Amino acid sequence: MSIRTKIAGIGHFVPDQVITNHDLEKLMDTSHEWIVERTGIEQRRFADRKTETTSTMGTEAAKKAAADAGIDVSDIDFIIFATLSSDYFFPGSGVLTQRQLGLAESGVGALDVRNQCSGFVYALTVGDTFVRSGLYKNVLVVGAETHSMGLDFTTRGRDISVIFGDGAGAVILQPTTEENQGILTNSLHADGREAEELSFICPGSHSGIHDNETDFGFSGGKFDSIFMTQKMLDEAKVFPYMNGKHVFKYAVKKFPEVIMKVIHAAGYQPTDIDLLIPHQANLRISQFVQKTLRLRDDQVFNNIQKYGNTTAASIPIALSEAKESGRVKRGDLICLAAFGSGFTWGASLLRW
């Protein structure tokens, strides 16, 4: 009998600090009504800068996932950590969570995935492959973000800064031979031609490739640093950039395509889905996808209203909340889908 991968346990963690749209009104020229109309977001969570980081939130979610799976954290034999906001530029947050879970001495491997909004689906697919191959039996997959550390909280950056929030979600993957359980199919895609349309370019190692006015290099026997320059600071290039209209147009096309791909690959139709959990990018995008696929309200789960866009953490947080509220039950057909920077997008179909 063939081996599939099941989600044996799931958990999430969000900071206590709630930031409402009205709080942001005090920092920039925006309004609660404007934000809700364009994104659906009413509030988000921000990490405590003194005590919470991407890895610590991921660790808390991981502990809950392990408990839900009925295992001790010492049983975890591999870690996959998806984030765009790692604690450090390097190393990644995977090894930090490994250390915080007390797994460093045993040498448990830790892999970091940097696929932004699609990070969790990519990480889940990698974990699925590891489990089905027989290489690992308890794979921890974490999606966690601390967006609040790198946003421009001024009117200049409002189009982006009002969207994002902090949090973490995690799952434990295990092998199963049950016929009607586990991950059925995955589909991953990318289009690097669109890389700069949703990006956080500076600081970076691109040596001025994206800034033709700057000539870095050796000068008088001295090599000029390009990691951080005054020009980057003056022109606010150290904050994320998003071509919102372009991203929306691309997302509403690729979301339905990849969802249909995994559904058809497993021999199903959209009407067979018990629950679609899309990456919580924008409520308008989710509603457009729902309408395109002709899904009922009870077939789609959204929680962006409470948490904003938590990027790689959004799907596991939503899946965890859906399970807690009874929206996910044994035997349900669940579709997870994401689209984001890269551009990258993907979907997974599973039987809970």
Say if 230 falls within a structural domain. Answer: no
Do 153 and 24 lie in one domain? The reply is yes
Say if 92 falls within a structural domain. Answer: yes
The pLDDT tens digits for 337-348 are: 999 998 999 999
Q: What percent of the chain has pLDDT over 90?
A: 82
The pLDDT tens digits for 52-105 are: 999 999 999 999 999 999 999 999 999 999 999 999 989 999 999 999 999 999
Which member of 12, 21, 115, 117 is catalytic? Answer: 117
Active-site residue, 279 included: yes
- Number of folded domains in the chain? 2
Do 15 and 154 lie in one domain? The reply is yes
Say if 217 falls within a structural domain. Answer: no
Active-site residue, 32 included: no
Do 65 and 120 lie in one domain? The reply is yes
Which member of 147, 186, 279, 335 is catalytic? Answer: 279
Which member of 115, 138, 282, 309 is catalytic? Answer: 309
For residue 223, the model assigns a pLDDT of 55
Active-site residue, 117 included: yes
For residue 224, the model assigns a pLDDT of 56
User: 202: pLDDT confidence band, cut at 50, 70 and 90?
Assistant: confident
Do 191 and 160 lie in one domain? The reply is no
The pLDDT tens digits for 208-267 are: 555 554 554 555 555 555 666 777 777 777 788 888 889 889 999 999 999 999 999 999
pTM: 0.93
Say if 334 falls within a structural domain. Answer: yes
Do 151 and 8 lie in one domain? The reply is yes
Of 176, 206, 221, the one marking the end of a domain is 176
User: 196: pLDDT confidence band, cut at 50, 70 and 90?
Assistant: confident
For residue 220, the model assigns a pLDDT of 55
Do 11 and 46 lie in one domain? The reply is yes
* Among 135-139, 193-197, 199-203, the range of highest mean pLDDT: 135-139
Mean pLDDT of all residues belonging to the chain: 92
16-35 average pLDDT score: 96
For residue 225, the model assigns a pLDDT of 59
Say if 231 falls within a structural domain. Answer: no
Separation of alpha carbons 67 and 83, rounded Å: 23
For residue 118, the model assigns a pLDDT of 96
Q: Which residue has the higher pLDDT, 29 or 227?
A: 29
Say if 250 falls within a structural domain. Answer: yes
Domain that holds residue 76: 4-176
Do 155 and 251 lie in one domain? The reply is no
Supply the CATH number for residue 51's domain.
3.40.47.10
Say if 209 falls within a structural domain. Answer: no
Do 285 and 163 lie in one domain? The reply is no
Of 176, 209, 230, the one marking the end of a domain is 176
For residue 80, the model assigns a pLDDT of 98
